[in-house]
Amino acid sequence: MGRAIRFRGVKATPKTLEKDLLAKAGRLASDPSLLIPKCEQQCRRCGYDKLLKKMEKVAQYKDDAETLQNLATRGDQLVRAYAATISLAASGKIPFLTSKKIPWGDVSFAVRGKVEAEYLIGVQYFDDPDLRLLAHFQDAKDNDLHIYSSPESLYCSSDGPNVPASYSKEMLATSPYDLKADNSCGHPEAVIGLMVHWRSAKINLFICQECADEVNLLHHLLSRIAAREPWDDFDIDVRYSPRCVADCGACRMKEKFAMSQGLKEAYEKGQLSDVMLLSRYIQEREAHLRRSGGELYISGDECFGRNKEAFLARLKGSEAELIALSGVIRNKPMPIISVNDQAGRIITDLWPQLKEELLAMVADPDIVKSVLANPGNLTPPQLVIEARRQQLSRSVISRLPDYAIKGPIGTIADDLARTFKTEGKAAMVRQLDRNRPRETRLKAVAYGFLVAVGEADSRNWQYTKEEIDFGKYLGEFAQTMLAAEGNDYDQALINLLAASGANEDLKRKL
């Protein structure tokens, strides 16, 4: 909790809030023990007994607002906050409130005496399981206490962490995961997952990789503990134990592996979600294997040892992704740990180190260069697919004749055939839908291409009977063009022009 207090202005007190605060101040005036944590055992180190005695003395002035406000200017902060708060009840009104931004949102409270805001808020909201901790963070730090706040009470342990059952029960019940009776997500056998051992509660939690979410489970569990290091009661670890489906020998996944201290601390301090912890752990583990050399292939819950072909056969993805990835993997022995069988995901993991190699498997160097120079918003797998598309269209086009002269029918037929060959049927149909010719003979040719790819019937309404009949006749000429390359393509185009009755020039580039 930062010391810096930023007041967000002073406001007139809403009536209900005033009534509420006065009622709470009245309760505190007659019972200061409401502020005191229950000590789990006989506490040697906590000073709550002494503080309670001081508060009981303060309570003797519970009808004397002036004296109380005076008492709120010296001594222990908690006692000051107590005096300040019960002085509200003594004066019977709270015309103005101050508000302060804290991690739970804006909170309004009354300022009296000379008291740190955290203490005033913690005391004035002593019935709120989150806010009341504000009055105890400092003492917990100074005296190395563990203070637990559960809805019904506050507990203190001065002898290291010692969680009361009501606290752990509440925290498990309000966990961001729907925990089953065994305190797991319901998949206690899962190969990958987060393990949390809560020592003093004697509880083991397990959240599998599939169920893990963008939350920090540990942070939830300790969110109502005030202590120097509230995570000091928890052991955090990751289970990663794939089944060996190939002959691994002494499988390296059976070795002990501890996550780095930095990773652990980042998680403990709430800087990482459960999902991020798991993926960083896997990265660390993979990096560790990579440093020590050798091969190891893991996909999801299966370990293929060094059997890269079995591993590759398991991967799923587009043709381009599979070509790129298997090419790189066959060229370069390396450990690969993937939490699933998606080639795209592995490509994404390998991208920072191996993007040139991956792209080189599917495209010429100049295409690789231009794709890397202008990646746009494409993800690594999309870039691989794009590079392959460019490569394919280049090689298709290189097998087609170029024309120096062609007329309108030659142009539409050649354009449609090229689009079909480089980008597929859907792209060709789109091109026609966007740019439908008007002249009857051209329309008949267009219809012929639709017939050739089996997309004509749904568009009949766009054509006259004459165009449809003519187009059906041209369909097989179009089909021959779509299948042809080189000189055959040239001949197919000449035949189509003749069949359409076109009287136009066609001349190949030399």
Instruction: Decide: is 245 part of the binding site for Zn ion (CB under 5 A).
Output: no
Compare residues 211 and 259 and give the one whose CB is closer to Zn ion: 211
Minimum distance from residue 382 beta carbon to Zn ion (Å): 30
Give the separation between CA 79 and CA 76, rounded to whole angstroms: 5
Confirm or reject binding of residue 187 to Zn ion (CB under 5 A).
yes
Cα-based distances in Å from 435 to 117, 428, 429, 454: 71, 11, 10, 19
Range in contact with Zn ion (rule: CB under 5 A) among 76-84, 154-162, 166-174, 448-456:
154-162
H helix intervals, 361-406: 365-373, 380-398
State the binding string over 107-146 for Zn ion (x if CB under 5 A, else -).
Answer: ----------------------------------------
Secondary structure letter of residue 161 according to DSSP: -
Write each residue from 299 to 338 as x if it is in contact with Zn ion (CB under 5 A), else as -, in one continuous string.
Answer: ----x-----------------------------------
From 57-65, 238-246, 306-314, 473-481, give the range in contact with Zn ion by CB under 5 A.
238-246
Kindly tell me which of 39 and 222 has the beta carbon lying closer to Zn ion: 39
Q: Does 156 engage in binding with Zn ion (CB under 5 A)?
A: yes
In angstroms, give the least distance from the CB of 258 to Zn ion.
19
Q: Which stretch binds Zn ion (CB under 5 A): 241-249, 365-373, 397-405, 482-490?
A: 241-249
- As measured in angstroms, the least distance from the Cβ of 224 to Zn ion is 17
- For Zn ion, the binding residue among 34, 52, 172, 244 (CB under 5 A) is 244
Task: State the minimum distance, in angstroms, from the CB of residue 308 to Zn ion.
Answer: 13
The binder of Zn ion chosen from 51, 201, 205, 208 (CB under 5 A): 208
Contacts of 409-413 with C-beta under 8 Å, sequence gap 24+, read: 409/441, 409/442, 409/445, 409/496, 409/497, 409/500, 409/502, 409/504, 410/493, 410/497, 410/502, 410/504, 410/506, 412/437, 412/442, 412/445, 412/446, 413/445, 413/449, 413/478, 413/481, 413/493, 413/496, 413/497
Q: Which is nearer to Zn ion, 51 or 444 (CB)?
A: 51
| Radius of gyration in angstroms for the set of CA atoms belonging to the chain, rounded to a whole number | 37
Contact yes or no for 498/477 (Cβ under 8 A)? no
Pick between residue 25 and residue 39 the one whose CB is nearest to Zn ion: 39
* Closest distance to Zn ion from the beta carbon of 316 (Å): 21
The reply on whether position 251 binds Zn ion by CB under 5 A is yes
d(CA 196, CA 11): 45
DSSP characters for 336-365?
Answer: EEESSSBHHHHHHHHHHHHHHHHHHTTS-H
Q: Tell which one of 28, 39, 90, 163 touches Zn ion (CB under 5 A).
A: 39
3-state secondary structure string across 84-126: HHHHHHHHCCCCEEEEEEECCEEEEECCCCCCCHHHHHHHHCC
User: Which residue number, 251 or 392, has a Cβ lying nearer to Zn ion?
Assistant: 251
Between residues 24 and 285, which has the closer beta carbon with respect to Zn ion? 285
Which member of 59, 211, 275, 396 binds Zn ion (CB under 5 A)? 211
Closest to 26 measured CA to CA, from 81, 87, 114, 112: 87
Of 197, 145, 201, the closest CA to residue 169 belongs to 201
Where along the sequence are the contacts to Zn ion (CB under 5 A)? 39, 43, 46, 156, 158, 185, 187, 208, 211, 244, 248, 251, 303
